[in-house]
Structure 1
Amino acid sequence: MNDSHYDTLVLGSGPAGEGAAMQLAKGGQRVAMVERLREVGGGCTHWGTIPSKSLRHNVRRLMEYNSSPLFREAGEPRHLSFQTMLNHARNVIDQQVGMRSGFYQRNDVPVLTGAARFEDEHTLALTGGDGRTQRLTAGHFLIATGSRPYRPVDVDFTHPRIHDSDQILSLEHTPRSVIIYGAGVIGSEYASIFRGLGVKVDLINTRERMLEFLDDEISDAISYHLREHGVILRHREQYQSIQGDDDGVTLALQSGKRVRGDLLLWANGRSGNTDGMGLEAIGIQPNGRGQVRVNDSFQTAQPHVYAIGDVIGYPSLASAAYDQGRYAATHMLDGQCDYRLAHDVPTGIYTIPEISSVGRTERELTDAQVPYEIGHAFFKDLARAQISGQTMGMLKLLFHTDTLELLGIHCFGDQAAEIVHIGQAIMAQPAPNNTLRYFLNTTFNYPTMAEGYRVAALNGYNRVT
């Protein structure tokens, strides 16, 4: 056997690559993981989901403590630095790396470290940190190299007061004020985090409204909530220039406004990690944002080369990327895949409080001329929320007026990303089991947040009867 030949080489050890590598190994293939970094886990583990959500969790706990009348009787409000919060996040990263490294060891998947470049359609040159290059060949390749923050050429990211969403995790102090350029998922999450630490925040949105892909009512709710907590939110703005100096950063907007802050966080767009890989030489041409075009089976212009995860663009979710990896691996093993990827992928946005949704929005249903009705459960009316003090938020059900079929689940509030999965499970059932009636006829533990489904279902059902 040629030690440098594999059935499949997987490029990138984030959720997408990990899901594919494990599936291929269990399917009997000789697989190797190619990872540019010293540790496995990809951007998700080291710069994205894990550190930012760990940071957010700790900030939320601090906010909960400081806002509780009970704890106020015990002492003064507490203040913790950004750096202190990050230290806990690094502990979580270490645990994740250790666990994921074990997956590769147990499944006999070697992890080869270095920068990969295609020499021809079946040969990869892997250059290690010592400058040495080895050549690897494979029958199939899977590109799961992820993405990184988009960096416009006229913004100086070497300046100590200008950061992208990767660099911000190396911040060693708590600023007094932050300008966040970009009010998408990352920008909104960091606006909540910094505001929770008592930092003044200017959130610059380049679009008409925040998080336009959300249901309008949910988008309005997070906009109102951020403003209520002191975030200055500016819509429909584009930057003219960004200038850092010894004392701070000045953001000049095309509208003529000038915004001043201690530092600026750039959170506007992502680029696929495909540069330097030699893809063009084998007939694969990434777009202007470094993303690779694939077919419904995740094959590129070269059928034996697959691409999954953030490097192909939408939906750019760790959860979806893992499933894409399983799908692509099954297609490699069997030449087809009967496993159907979920049509409705849940969205989780870890603002404070968090947002999660699955299915269609009111705007989409109205445009499609689908007759629908709404059921609401407001957290302020749920006993469990009153007990925990987390009364901000709501659960919203969209359902067909005639059949009661569930069409969309939208949640804003504490534990939203957990709560949404109850509705997702029912919505995914075949008719007639995917209707509002499940929640009308089911006994929920009391008091729980899940009880909100019964409350929302009754609220909606009363509108159509």
Structure 2
Amino acid sequence: MSDPGTALPSDPHRVPVQGDRSRVVILGGGPGGYEAALVAARAGAEVTLLEERGIGGAAVLTDVVPSKTLIATAEVLDQVADSARLGIRDADDGSAPTAETLTVDLGAVNERVRRLAASQSADITASLRAAGVRILPRRGRLVGPDRVQALDGPGDGAGDGAVVEEIGADVVLLAVGARPRELGEAPCDGERILNWTQLYELGALPEHLIVVGSGVTGAEFASAYRALGSRVTLVSSRDQVLPGTDADAADVLEDAFARRGVELRSRSRAAAARREGEEVVVTLTSGEEIRGSHALMALGGVPRTEGLGLETAGVRLRSSGHVETDRVSRTSVRGIYAAGDCTGVYPLASVAAMQGRIAMHHALGDAVSPLVAAQVSSAIFTSPEIAVVGVSEAEVASGEVAGEVLVLGLETNPRAKMQGVAEGFVKLVVRPGSHTVLGAVVVAPRASELIMPFTLAVAHRLTAEQVAGTFTVYPSLTGSLAEVARRVDAEG
């Protein structure tokens, strides 16, 4: 992506305000879309938001909110399974509690998941309406760089349907997201062969779930369903789970999988899946077959850019189908921006939201800082959680970035001992000499919460000494964040 630097009011790419109010049309009501709508409405723009599947998009209705709600339930069972080391025993027979001694009502769990997702969607909808955003429950299609058609009918992603309304726009934001990728020889039926949007309709716990794909989605659901009580087989085409993630973190997760009974099939690629009565058969490229009760196809996403009229408007796409954008979310067409999974920048709700906010600030005349990839933190909600930010150890090892790597295990942390935490670590990457924090990895319970101090350090170029000199609560897991930073002096 190009680097436009900080946008200035004289930027020729900006769209002139028409009269007193700019007309902003947003296609897609996920994090990128609704955050952009709020920014634009509060700036005084006339905002129309088109979303056919429900406000909040996939992130709220079928992806992030539902999956993390399910995972929160699984975490409770994980804690039960590990509570024997804390001295907890069954009141009747004195046996050690295990997750298997509890019954999971998956129908009730999924009903709660759907209810919370709907509640979150309703809260966002209320915020948009309070801000003055006009919401249309329609699909949108560009008919030029400054006109959008609202389409009726269910459609099939090809942009068909009757034209309900045509809307003029000074600014258009594409925030249409992505859909689950599927294998041609493993069509998802929503009953036994599932993508991640279909899991929340299950009324009973899968006896044996075969998870195809060991990226973030596959690893999270393998971890969650094993904790819930399903037998789980994870099919990974790579040598290690979570390709591209910190190798030490992946090792810890693989050890946790082995301890909890997840069967990992490394260097195995799925070629097909079919139903045989009450079973699912997943066929590997080697010809081997794995039988289970259900299969989850966790193979990444495909951008929803078909049928949007992008070619008509002149918007350039990458070979992958993603919209080409720069670091302030501009596309190749003046006045048209894009945010979220349809851009392929990072498949993260937080990044989509930031892209949407940046796009609107830029389009409406505010000076804005572009998206900085090194400041993006992310988390994997497995057990234990994995959170990362900034420069990785792999980049240091390859010579791509000059850095020093410091690692501290959690086994010496007093709070970890009290909670019976047996695995995890904190890793810090600093610049040689100045000790400026460049990156970090946290593997621990609630790592998604613990990464923020390191994200602040990366974003504001703090040194390890500044992190080390900041007070932490005793006892707490945050104590290890400061402790690893103090090792700069010890190892320098």
With the length of structure 2 as denominator, give the TM-score of the two structures.
0.87
Q: CA deviation at 1:6?
A: 6.8
**Counterparts of 2:152 and 2:251 in 1: how far apart (Å)?**
49
Q: Mark the CA change 1:159 to 1:405 in structure 2 (over 3 Å): closer, same or farther.
A: closer
Deviations 1:193-243 (A, max 9, x none): 111012111111123322222222112221222122211212232223222
**Counterparts of 2:223 and 2:446 in 1: how far apart (Å)?**
15
AA paired with 1:210? V
The number of aligned residues is: 456
Deviations 1:323-371 (A, max 9, x none): 111110011111x743243432001111111110111111101222655
**Counterparts of 1:252 and 1:445 in 2: how far apart (Å)?**
52
Q: CA deviation at 1:132?
A: 6.4
SS in 2 for 1:314: coil
**Counterparts of 2:270 and 2:230 in 1: how far apart (Å)?**
22
Matches within 5 A, 1:279-294: 279-287=310-318, 289-294=320-325
SS in 2 for 1:291: coil
Which residue number corresponds to residue 249 of structure 1? Answer: 280
Which residue number corresponds to residue 267 of structure 1? Answer: 298
AA paired with 1:61? V
AA paired with 2:67? S
**Counterparts of 1:139 and 1:370 in 2: how far apart (Å)?**
42
Which residue number corresponds to residue 4 of structure 2? Answer: none
Q: Aligned to 2:140, which of 93, 96, 116?
A: 116
**Counterparts of 1:452 and 1:347 in 2: how far apart (Å)?**
19
**Counterparts of 1:450 and 1:405 in 2: how far apart (Å)?**
19
Matches within 5 A, 1:5-404: 7-37=23-53, 39-69=54-84, 70-74=87-91, 77-129=101-153, 133-158=164-189, 160-287=191-318, 289-334=320-365, 337-342=367-372, 343-368=374-399, 370-404=401-435
| Matching of residue 438 in structure 1 with residue 466 in structure 2 | yes
- Bigger CA drift: 136-145 or 48-57? 136-145
What RMSD, in angstroms, separates the aligned Cα atoms of the two structures? 2.2
**Residues 6 and 137 in structure 1, CA contact (< 8 A), matched pair in contact too:** no
**Counterparts of 2:269 and 2:81 in 1: how far apart (Å)?**
36
AA paired with 2:435? L
**Counterparts of 1:443 and 1:120 in 2: how far apart (Å)?**
56
SS in 1 for 2:143: strand
**Residues 256 and 383 in structure 2, CA contact (< 8 A), matched pair in contact too:** no
**Residues 203 and 233 in structure 1, CA contact (< 8 A), matched pair in contact too:** yes
**Residues 309 and 324 in structure 1, CA contact (< 8 A), matched pair in contact too:** yes
SS in 2 for 1:120: coil
**Counterparts of 2:411 and 2:115 in 1: how far apart (Å)?**
35
Q: Is there any run of 5+ residues in structure 2 with no aligned partner, and where?
A: 1-17, 155-161
Q: CA deviation at 1:73?
A: 3.3
Structure with more contact order per residue of length (Cα contacts < 8 Å, sep ≥ 6): 2
Which residue number corresponds to residue 454 of structure 2? Answer: 423
Q: CA deviation at 1:102?
A: 1.6
With the length of structure 1 as denominator, give the TM-score of the two structures.
0.92
- Bigger CA drift: 152-161 or 319-328? 152-161
- Structure 1 stretches of at least 4 aligned residues deviating more than 6 Å after TM superposition: none
| Matching of residue 461 in structure 1 with residue 489 in structure 2 | yes
SS in 2 for 1:222: helix
Q: CA deviation at 1:71?
A: 4.2
**Residues 114 and 200 in structure 2, CA contact (< 8 A), matched pair in contact too:** no
Q: CA deviation at 1:322?
A: 0.8
